[in-house]
């Protein structure tokens, strides 16, 4: 991959916002920040266009909740072709964190995440998607 240099004209407010973004995210320069913003935009478009994406579904739940782990497992089996792996962590005596690695069409992964997060007893859930190509 070759690097191309180009000039950019921005209003002072946008330049300050870019510098703040670079600083907050520990980028060493504006170029890295701009690359990240462009990549993020590409991923978002792929997500919205129902392209093939990869990502993770993160869930926090109380494992004592009746039938919760069975419901989570059963639903994951319904989407077995999209689930690459899952990791289960014990946060304390009651709370668990589960991270599910996924790959598939953006809409279907969103559907899976929404269904998992909606199960009674899941305290928090989040889907994160990225490029798969």
Please, are residues 119 and 98 in contact by the beta-carbon 8 Å criterion? no
> What mean pLDDT is predicted for residues 27-52?
82
CATH of segment(s) 52-131: 3.30.70.1150
Say what the pLDDT of residue 45 is.
Answer: 75
> How far is it, in rounded angstroms, from Cα 42 to Cα 36?
10
pLDDT in tens, 96-111: 999 999 999 989 999 9
Whole-number pLDDT of residue 130: 87
Gap between the Cα atoms of 25 and 21, Å rounded: 6
Tell the residue number behind the tokens 């009746």, with chain if given: 66
- Sequence-distant (6+) residues with CB within 8 A of 129 are 43, 47, 53, 54, 55, 106, 109
User: Is 72:117 a contact under the CB 8 Å cutoff?
Assistant: no
In this prediction, residue 6 carries a pLDDT of 86
């Amino acid at each position: 991959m070759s690097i191309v240099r180009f000039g950019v004209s921005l209003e002072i407010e946008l330049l300050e916002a870019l510098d703040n973004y670079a600083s907050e995210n520990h980028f060493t320069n504006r170029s890295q920040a701009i690359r990240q913003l462009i990549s993020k935009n590409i991923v978002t478009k792929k997500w919205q266009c129902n392209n093939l994406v990869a990502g993770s579904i993160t869930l926090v739940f109380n494992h004592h909740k009746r039938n919760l782990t069975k419901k989570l497992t059963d639903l994951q089996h319904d989407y077995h072709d999209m689930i690459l792996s899952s990791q289960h962590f014990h946060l304390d005596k009651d709370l668990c964190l589960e991270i599910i690695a996924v790959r598939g069409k953006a809409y279907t992964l969103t559907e899976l995440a929404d269904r998992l997060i909606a199960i009674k007893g899941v305290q928090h859930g989040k889907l994160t998607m990225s490029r798969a190509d």
